[in-house]
Chain A
Amino acid sequence: MIFDALNDTRVVDLTHYIAGPYATRLLAQLGAEIIKVEPPQGEGGRRLGPFHDAVATDTAHIDRGALFAFLNADKLGVTLNLKHPRARELLCHLLATADLLVENFVPGTLARLGLDPALLLDRFPKLSIVSISNFGQDGPDRDSPLNDIVLAARGGWTYAVGDPAREPLSPPGSLAQYVGAVYAAIGGLQALLARDLGHGRGQHVDISLLEATVATMIYDTVTFQYTGIVRERAGKRYAVGPFLLVTVRCRDGYAGLHCVSDLQFQSLFAMMGRPELAADEKFSRAIARMANNDELLAIVEEFFARHDADWLYAQGRARAIPIVPIPTAAQVLEWEQLKARSYFETIDDPVLGKLRVPGGPLRFTSNRPAPSRPAPRLGEHNRIVLGDRLGLATDELARLRAEGVV
Chain B
Amino acid sequence: MSIAAGLEKIRALDLSMGWAGPLVTEMLAEMGVQVIKVEDTRNFDWWRGSLSMGPPEMQPVERSSVFNTANRGKLGLTLDLSRPEGVAILKRLAAASDILVENFSPGTIGRLGLGWPELSALNPRLIMISLPAFGSEGPESNARGYGMTIEAMAGVTALTAYHDGGAPYMLSNALGDPVSGLHGMLAVLAALHQRARTGRGQLVEVAEVETVVPFVTGALLEYQLSGRTPIPLGNRHSTAAPHGIFRCADDTFIALGVHNEDHWRALTDALELSHLAEDPRFASADARKHNEDALEAELRPAILRLGADAAASRLIAAGVPAGQVNSSADVLADRQIGARSFFVPIDRAVVGTHLYPGAIARLSATPLDAGRPSPMLGEHNESVLREMLAMSDAEIARLAEDGIIGSHPRSRP
Q: Which residues of A contact B (CB under 8 A)?
A: 3-6, 8-9, 22, 26, 30-31, 49-53, 66-67, 69-70, 135-142, 144-150, 152-163, 166-175, 178-179, 182-187, 189-194, 196-199, 201, 203-208, 210-212, 214-227, 230-231, 235-236, 238-239, 245-247, 249, 254, 256, 258, 260, 285-287, 316-317, 320-322, 324-333, 335-338, 340-341, 343, 352, 355-358, 360-366
Contact = CB atoms under 8 A, between A and B. Distances in A.
Interface string B325-368: 11111111011110110110000000100111110111111101
Contacts of B50: 286
Contact of B155 (A140, A152, A328): A328
29 contacts: A5-B191, A49-B222, A52-B225, A135-B336, A147-B321, A161-B171, A168-B253, A169-B169, A175-B215, A183-B360, A183-B361, A194-B366, A196-B196, A204-B364, A205-B364, A211-B360, A216-B178, A217-B331, A221-B328, A227-B65, A238-B169, A246-B170, A286-B53, A317-B143, A325-B153, A326-B158, A337-B134, A337-B209, A362-B205
B207 interface: yes
B112 interface: no
Nearest to A4: B194
Nearest to A150: B323
A326 B162 CA distance: 16
In the complex, which of the residues A147, A158, A322 has the most CB atoms of chain B within 10 Å of its own CB atom?
A: A147
Given A154-B323, A171-B171, A362-B186, A187 B335 contact: no
B178 A191 contact: no
A132 to B, nearest CB: 10
In the complex, which of the residues B197, B206, B325, B363 has the most CB atoms of chain A within 10 Å of its own CB atom?
A: B325
Given A162-B162, A169-B161, A337-B138, 15 more contacts: A6-B193, A30-B190, A149-B243, A161-B170, A163-B166, A171-B156, A182-B182, A186-B182, A194-B365, A198-B4, A287-B53, A325-B153, A332-B153, A338-B209, A358-B214
A333 B220 contact: yes
A186 to B, nearest CB: 5
Given A168-B245, A238-B148, A154 B324 contact: yes
B380 interface: no
A362 B146 CA distance: 18
Contacts of A173: 159, 215-216, 218-219
A337 B200 contact: no
A192 B149 contact: no
Contacts of A216: 173, 175, 178-179
A365 to B, nearest CB: 5
A168 B137 CA distance: 38
A97 B325 CA distance: 44
B162 A169 contact: yes
Given A226-B354, A336-B140, A210 B337 contact: yes
B140 to A, nearest CB: 4
Nearest to B255: A153
Contacts of B172: 157-161, 217-218, 220, 231, 238-239
A47 B109 CA distance: 47
A230 B187 CA distance: 34
Interface string B133-149: 01101111111111011
Nearest to A215: B357
A309 to B, nearest CB: 10
A245 to B, nearest CB: 6
A186 B178 CA distance: 13
A320 B361 CA distance: 38
Given A149-B245, A214-B337, A341-B135, A172 B232 contact: yes
In the complex, which of the residues B68, B166, B178, B224 has the most CB atoms of chain A within 10 Å of its own CB atom?
A: B224
Given A219-B357, A343-B213, A358-B214, A194 B186 contact: no
Given A66-B221, A322-B145, A337-B141, A223 B65 contact: yes
Interface residues of B, number: 150
B339 A139 contact: yes
A67 B217 contact: yes
Contacts, number: 497
A223 B66 contact: yes
Nearest to B192: A193
B277 interface: no
Contacts of A227: 65
A178 B215 contact: yes
Contacts of B329: 224, 230
In the complex, which of the residues A154, A325, A330 has the most CB atoms of chain B within 10 Å of its own CB atom?
A: A154
In the complex, which of the residues A142, A186, A196, A246 has the most CB atoms of chain B within 10 Å of its own CB atom?
A: A186
Given A139-B339, A191-B363, A286-B52, A337 B135 contact: yes
A343 B210 CA distance: 8
Given A190-B363, A194-B4, A364-B191, A167 B235 contact: yes
Nearest to B19: A218
B225 A53 contact: yes
B189 A186 contact: yes
A321 B144 contact: yes
A222 B162 contact: no
Contact of B218 (A31, A50, A155): A50
A316 B200 CA distance: 40
In the complex, which of the residues B135, B162, B215, B263 has the most CB atoms of chain A within 10 Å of its own CB atom?
A: B215
B324 A197 contact: no
A150 B256 contact: yes
Given A141-B336, A150-B321, A198-B5, A335 B186 contact: no
Contacts of A6: 190, 193-194
A363 B204 contact: yes
B328 A220 contact: yes
A332 B194 CA distance: 32
A377 to B, nearest CB: 18
A238 B232 CA distance: 18
A174 B212 CA distance: 12
A363 B156 CA distance: 22
Contacts of B135: 337, 341, 363
A340 B1 CA distance: 49
A194 B7 contact: yes
Interface in B249-276: 253-257, 259, 263
A169 B191 contact: no
A169 B31 CA distance: 36
Nearest to A184: B361
Contact of B328 (A22, A197, A223, A322): A223
A126 to B, nearest CB: 13
A162 B169 CA distance: 6
A274 to B, nearest CB: 21
B4 A197 contact: yes
Contacts of A201: 365
